[in-house]
Amino acid sequence: MKYFAAFLAAFAFCLPMSCDPGVTPAVFGQEIVVPGPNFEVVGQDEAEIGELVRFVVQGDVETISWRIIPGTQDFDHAQDGRRAFFSARTGGDYVFIVAAAKGGEVYLDVKTLTVKGEPAPISGLKAKVGQWLTGVRVEDPKVKLRAMAGVFRKLGEGDIDVDKILEATALANSAVLGDSLKAWIPFLDKLGTELDQLAADGELETDEQYRTVWIDLAKALEYHGKE
């Protein structure tokens, strides 16, 4: 049985989740007026590789479109483009071009993010968790990330039972995610795929291997869930 299937077996239901790339082309190609009326993209200017970056669009506008240079799959948005999420796999400058329309006019703002650092600290999971989070469409995932980190840490630091740890993890994560479970299905899917690969590579066979992976997952979740 695949790890993701086992991961969700303890849930009472499995909810489908659409997670299309978050680049909306609706208003590009029209005549652009700069600047816009109180229109601004708010977010940080620097980040580390693998860090989850959030942007918020402020202003009285009707439609919002995003373009990113260079192009990337590690981007998504929610609330009709008013909130966006990004995690870089490599360093460099990323330019976010945001166009917003209202009353037949289009307004433009540009945000440049400089990404620094080296990839794959903490057994590579910190960077991967940041990439998986781009598919989670919730306003602030940090509270749930910290809660899930607590689940992995508690189980990883306790007595390991390789026959029961997946079910225990699934039940505990189901409890902490609660009503937001549907929004986290893409994240859990990627996590399950990662566990499948670790099992195929022989890295999830012994108690100690499970302990190492679960603690590493806790650290990666704590990193992205920190205030």
Cβ atoms of 101 and 79 closer than 8 Å? no
Q: Which residue has the tokens 């993701």?
A: 4
User: Scanning the structure block, which residue is given the tokens 């600047």?
Assistant: 35
Task: Name the 3-class secondary structure at 226.
Answer: coil
Taking CA 201 as the corner, what is the angle to CA 184 and CA 74, rounded to the nearest 5 degrees? 35
Q: Domain ranges in the chain?
A: 3-17+137-225, 32-116
Helix or strand run (H / E) with residue 152: helix 142-157
User: What amino acid occupies position 16?
Assistant: P
Q: What are phi and psi of 54, to 5 degrees?
A: -120, 140
pLDDT number for residue 124: 78
Single out the residue of 78, 89, 35, 29 nearest to residue 56, CA to CA.
78
68 residue type, one letter: I
Q: Which amino acid is at 183?
A: A
pTM: 0.53
pLDDT of residue 127: 83
Q: H/E element holding 218?
A: helix 207-225
Which of these, 222, 226, 173, lies nearest to 195 by C-alpha position?
173
- pLDDT 10s digits, 105-153: 888 888 999 998 765 444 578 888 888 988 888 877 889 999 999 999 9
Local confidence pLDDT in tens for the 227 residues of the chain: 444 444 443 332 333 333 333 444 444 444 445 555 578 889 999 998 888 899 999 888 888 999 999 888 889 888 888 999 998 888 899 999 998 888 878 888 889 999 987 654 445 788 888 889 888 888 778 899 999 999 999 999 988 788 888 889 988 988 999 989 999 999 999 999 999 999 999 999 998 999 999 999 999 999 888 86
Q: Which of 214, 200, 117 is nearest to 164 (CA)?
A: 214
Measure the CA–CA gap between 82 and 56, rounded to whole angstroms.
6
Burial class of residue 93, CB neighbours in 10 A (0-12, 13-18, 19+)? exposed
Residue 72 CB neighbours (<10 A): 16
| DSSP characters over 129-186 | HHHHGGG---S-THHHHHHHHHHHHHHHHS---TTTHHHHHHHHHHHHHGGGHHHHHH
Q: What kind of fold does domain 32-116 have according to CATH?
A: Immunoglobulin-like (2.60.40)
pLDDT for the residue 169: 92
Rounded-to-integer distance, Cα 86 and Cα 172, Å = 27
